Each structure stands twice: as C-alpha cells, then as structure tokens.
Chain A
C-alpha cells in the first residue's frame, strides 16, 4: 500500500520558486492498479521521487506499507519496485548481468535468485536478449530490461513512470498481462501515464493531478460521470480545468 499525505514541495532557486507539490494526498491500495494522470509539470515525477526517498517533502509524508520513507528509506525501498522516468542501462553488462545485479542489491542470492531471474526472463519473453550486452538495444528492449530489473525481486509495491512509451504492441500487452497478474496476487501498482486508453483499460482507480494538487479521483467510469463526458480524455481536460499540456 502506498500512501501520500499532504505533500508540499517547492524548488527554490535564486531567480524563482517553483511550487511542484501543493498538498497532494492519495492512497494506492493493494490489489489495485492506481493510475496517476496529469499534464506535464503537474508534479507527477516529483511526487514519485519523494516516494522513492530521493527528495524530501517540505511538508507531509509518504508511506510505503506503513513505513515512512523519510525515516527508513532503505526499508521502504525494499518493498518497492521502480520503473523510473528516465532510465538507462549499464551498457557494458549483459541484460542477464544487469538483472542479476539488481536482484543482488535486493538481497537475493543462490538458487532463489537464479529461479527469480529465469522466471522474469520467461515472463517477459527475454531469453533471446539475456546474454547480449545492452549497448545498441532498441527502446522496447531497454524497456524490458528495466522492467525485468524492477520486477525481479517480486516487489509488494510497484511504481511505474510512463512504462509504455516506446513499447510495441506485443510488449505492451505482455506488460498489461503482467500487471494484471501482479494485481491478482494482491500487489499494489502505481502507474503514471499520458495514454488515456492505457489508463482506461488498466486502472481500477485514477488520480488526476494538476498544479501539484489532486484535481479528482475515482474509477475511469466515475471520472467520466463526474465531468459529464463519455471519454476519459474529455473528462480529463475538463477536470484539470484547461486543455493545456494534453497534447504532450
């Protein structure tokens, strides 16, 4: 379970102050896929970075399974699988070595680690890539490696920052199936995206973020009803109060 409570965060520089988060609160429950929707600059990435413990909120707190991220960042991160906004690969390592590396960081070892890696390779259909160095991988292949390294330790909570960009249809479907499987097992999935169909198809609950605050929340259906629109996209535009940023 991921809880975010009244988060405030401002970035102060000499010239100006940017208020990225302004009292954002939401809860992503176990056994559900929660989507965060928001225009660019709404504070999605800042919120997620606070969740990882990379940034410290000015006010408010984030908890993962009840553990305060600011107090016990390492314990909290152990329960987290992260698919970051910007991701890179260790280009001199093979895909297998890289997944192995992250599994070891999460404290897995021996047979347990090997089976976990084999499992994730099978799940994501990556055996053909596994022993190639990751330099020169296509966007979709990079995506898969990053997913695999985030999922290998079977995290209870799983945070994805725009995971489907650059994935082909097959991989997107695999990802979706995977997320559904995780959900069925009772994991908590938090998911940020720009793609409305994606969110509408996958998410049990959607949180719309604008200007560092929550603008609305509910099931996709509820949001449509709330805005009096039939499509989530129209509802989204109406709910954030402008059509700015939607094109991105």
Chain B
C-alpha cells in the first residue's frame, strides 16, 4: 500500500510539473465551451432571423404581384443586394424564371411553370430555397382557393385528411446537433486528455532510461501500472470536470429558448455525465498505456496512441448510422455511454440498468487491460526493447 502511494505521489508530481502536457490536456476543456457558444449563437441566428434572400429574377415584370409577395417575406431581387454581399449572392446564384405569358395564362387558368435554378445540395442554400418554395406554394394555393371559392366550392373539400404533427424530440434539430457534438466532444476529452501524461509516463520513461531501474525494484508491475493509470485518468477526469463547469457557465450567455431548446447542465445532469465518463477515462488510460508501453520511443508511442482517437470519434457516428440497434449496443463500453449521453441531452430519463451494465463492462475491460499490461511488463520482450 505504501509502495503504491509512493508510486502515485511520484506520478502526480511529475505530471503536474510537466506544464506542456498539462496544457494539452486542459486545452480541450478550455476550447470546448467557446466552440459550443459560438455554434449556438450561429444556430439561434439562423433559426430566429429571417435574413434577406437575393434572387436573380428573369421576367419579374410579368408577375409584379408574385414579386411583391416574395418581397413581403424578405426575398428580394438581386438588383437590391448591398455591395458587400454581392459576391456571396452572385456565387449562390439562385435564379427564378417567370415566363412571358404569366399574366395571360393566369387569366386563362392554365398551369404556369416557374423555374427555380440553384445548387440544391449546397447546405447554406437550403433555408433560402425552402423559404422560396414555401412562399410560391402558398401563393399558388391561395389563388387556387380563391378560384374555387368564386365557383362556390368549400375549400375544406380539398383537405379530407389533416395531419397533425406532434414532435416528441424535445429540442429543435439545431439543438440536437449541438448536443450530439457536445457528446462526441466529451467522449473525446475523456479519451484524449490523459494521453500526453500516459505516453510520458510509459514510453517517455523508457526513453529516459528510468523504466529499467523501476522494473528492477522490489515492486510488482501491477502497482506500477495502477499508479500510472490513476494518474493519467485523474488528469482526464479533471479535464472533463473543468469542461463541464465551463460549458454550463457558457450556456448562461446564450438564450436557448429562442430555438425551443431547454438544454442546460444542472447538478444532476452533471453528476450523471460524470458517472458515465469516469469509467471511460479509466479505460482510455489503460488503452493508452498498453499501446505506449509497446512502443520503442516517445515518438512512436505518440503516433500509435493517437490512432486511438478513432475509437471515441468513430463509435458515436457508427451508432448514428445504425437504424436497428441491437440491445447489446447499450451495454458495450463507449457505445453504451454514447447512447446514454444522447438520452441525457434529449432530456429523457436515464436508463439506470443500462448505465450500470455499460459502466460494469467498461470497468471489467479496464481491469483486463491492466492485468494484461502488468503481465507484459514482466516479460522479457519489454525488457529487451529497453536497450
């Protein structure tokens, strides 16, 4: 016990005196709230404002009433675009062609074909195009209804079925996106924050020739691994706590109600997130140590261990792609936490049994990795690569 304490004290002393590694570990925590805040601001602006859209009309003179209706909804002619935004809108290039015989066909009750040309795949155009389409449809419908009314027909006849939509997804799609990113980011922070410390205390020590000395001492390799694991994971946990605290503070500066989201990190959310992420920190530290101890040098360790970043970033996205999730996904390490975090951000109740199983599975995997690593450190192969 005393040995373990001495080993741990030394690891923590070294970690906290390595300012550079500490900076890297904490930088994720510091950047995250800023990023979330900026993203939210942009999302709110997009959702709430009705920014002007500039369209290149051809044949505007044939349908002045339609143009006026569009203008009412802040959809303006390209001729009116302010000079500083001209280049932007020229590139976006939304064209609306109105045929010459618009007025005649309208009077004759013939169908009129307007042409809307734009890059429909361009994401920045999706909102303007949607607005134009909605407006033209509404305009067209209102004329149609009037025609029927004039002929004495109740327009309700046109709507035998009315679909009422009740959305059970609480936040709007923007907020969903943000919570997804927050989830991935938290997962990454849990996974990557301890990385510099883990590499330094394994491959780094080997490179500085102190590992051999330690392995010659009367101390079990299990204790050595546990000390290094607890140090690297503690740094990751500190980083996550810092990140959560700063994010919940940053949330106070944006008005989420404008986009219908009710996202906040209160005390219970905080506790649940921490409960989910602490086992991940342990697992991540164990994985990093396992990989870093295999490497011959600090550099090699850095490149192989950085590949681990795939794990936390790939799994949540893979889950998103899966439509029918099998039940075991809920219980596996990382995927389980990832799904539970999604629930937490959606404001759903926490599935405690899933939380218990996924945490247990994560910790079991960590214990296994620690055991494997302790065994490996007694092997000749590790010693041979010392020199």
Contacts and interface: CB of A to CB of B under 8 A. Distances in A.
Mutual binders A and B: yes
Interface of A: 11, 49, 52-56, 73-78, 80, 82, 84-93, 97, 101-102, 104-107, 109, 146
Q: Which of A54, A55, A93, A102 has the most CB of B within 10 A?
A: A54
Interface residues of B, number: 28
A78 B3 CA distance: 13
Contact of A92 (B14, B209, B215): B14
A47 to B, nearest CB: 14
Most buried by A among B10, B208, B215: B10
Contacts of B386: 86
A54 B383 contact: yes
B19 to A, nearest CB: 10
B6 interface: yes
Contacts of A105: 3, 6-7, 217-219
Contacts of B216: 52-54, 77, 80, 82, 84
B65 interface: no
B18 interface: yes
24 contacts: A11-B384, A52-B216, A54-B215, A55-B383, A74-B218, A80-B216, A82-B213, A84-B212, A84-B213, A85-B387, A86-B212, A87-B210, A90-B10, A90-B208, A90-B210, A92-B17, A93-B17, A101-B6, A101-B9, A104-B3, A104-B6, A105-B3, A105-B217, A106-B218
A90 B14 contact: yes
Contacts of A97: 10, 13
Nearest to A76: B218
A135 B133 CA distance: 69
A89 to B, nearest CB: 7
Contacts of B5: 104
Given A78-B218, A86-B209, A87-B209, A101 B383 contact: no
Contacts of A107: 2-3, 218
Contacts of B209: 86-88
Contacts, number: 82
B213 A93 contact: no
B45 to A, nearest CB: 47
B383 A88 contact: no
A91 B70 CA distance: 71
Contacts of B17: 92-93
B212 A92 contact: no
B380 interface: yes
Contact of B217 (A77, A85, A88): A77
B230 interface: no
Interface in B1-52: 2-3, 5-7, 9-10, 13-14, 17-18
B220 interface: yes
Given A49-B383, A74-B220, A88-B210, 7 more contacts: A54-B215, A54-B383, A56-B380, A93-B17, A97-B10, A105-B219, A146-B213
B204 to A, nearest CB: 10
B181 to A, nearest CB: 36
B380 A55 contact: yes
B387 A86 contact: yes
B218 A93 contact: no
Interface string B282-296: 000000000000000
Contacts of B213: 82, 84, 87-88, 146
Contact of A93 (B7, B14, B220): B14
Interface in B351-372: none
Nearest to B224: A105
A26 B90 CA distance: 90
A104 B2 contact: yes
Given A78-B218, A97-B13, A91 B208 contact: yes
A74 B383 contact: no
A101 B224 CA distance: 13
B208 A102 contact: no
A76 B218 CA distance: 8
A174 to B, nearest CB: 21
Interface string B368-386: 0000000000001001101
Contacts of B7: 105
